[in-house]
Amino acid sequence: MKIDGECLIELIGSCRNKVQVYRSVRMPQLHTLLHFHLTPIVMINDSSRRDLLLNSQNFHVSPHSFKILYKFGTGNMKLGRYAVLLAARDSEYVERVYGGYFNVFIAAFGEEGERWDLFRVVDDEFPDMSELYKYDGFVISGSPYDAYGNDYWILKLCFLLQTLDAMEKKVLGICFGHQVLCRSLGGKVGKACSGWDIGLRTVKVVKDLWVPSFLEELDEMPSSLSIIECHQDEVFEVPVGAQVVAFSEKTGVEMVVIGQHILGIQGHPEYTKDILYDIIDRLLDNNSIQNMQRDIAEKAKFGLETAEPDRKSWEKICRDFLKRKQNSSFS
């Protein structure tokens, strides 16, 4: 059976609620044969639970995949375990100043007593599917790649995200991560009609319907928050069951939640201003931003000199989402 990447994602997605499914499909553009087998497993904190785990002879990743391990603190407390799925390669600047994007995420979201692993999915380094149950949450980074593309590693990432959704694992998607989450779960993503959004953006929080419990943890629920943005793609249509909880004048879907285990943020809560300065300079130097859009980039740099993002609030939102108990109620 011949099928393209997008149809393959829909096929696997349509099988997510089946107890046992087997499919073998050929992807002409990748010249490979993928075998998928969805089976119920029992592996959640010593308690019985039927979850769907996606296995594939080509999708399986060697346990020797490169990982970086960070541990905070010692003591007898149970360590929370999290993973960063890095969809971008470290820039020269971030590598020199921060030691890589992984360290940027640790500084923003890591806390004492936690273990964090790194998987460079952009280089085809994925977590072992048999060890997903060991993690409390996952963070998907931004990327210069298109979330709607059919690069092999992007398709594999979509399969992984569908599996984590079926397991109801906490998944936080940022920028590209936000977009690829929505794509993999049935939403639509594409190039923004209005072009690049770069710099500080005021995001308005929707409070008229309901507020996710992790947002209630802020001292005062704000009506708006400022965040660093750097993207030219956006989510046009959210997955079934998703709730849009923030928007802006530029982008209709700035923040989306699904249940209590999926959170997507279009902006960059982890970015510092100097990181964005460097990105803008590189985009201008390699002509990724052209014509009138160059003026927007230059204005963005000027705007960063006179205003600050609400980083503390965004970091708290992300930490509370990742680490709040699953059985918390929504108001």
Quickly state the pLDDT bin for 289 (edges 50, 70, 90): low
Could you list the active site residues?
175, 268, 270
Summarised one tens digit per residue, pLDDT across range 168-191 is 999 999 999 999 999 999 999 989
Q: How far apart are CA 208 and CA 147, in angstroms?
A: 30
Q: What are the boundaries of each domain within the chain?
A: 64-323
Q: Which CATH superfamily is domain 64-323 in?
A: Class I glutamine amidotransferase (GATase) domain (3.40.50.880)
Quickly state the pLDDT bin for 309 (edges 50, 70, 90): confident
Quickly state the pLDDT bin for 217 (edges 50, 70, 90): low
pLDDT of residue 61: 34
pTM of the model: 0.74
Quickly state the pLDDT bin for 158 (edges 50, 70, 90): very high
pLDDT of residue 29: 33
Quickly state the pLDDT bin for 201 (edges 50, 70, 90): confident
| Average pLDDT for the chain | 75
Round the CA-based radius of gyration of the chain to a whole number and report it: 19
pLDDT of residue 181: 96
pLDDT of residue 74: 37
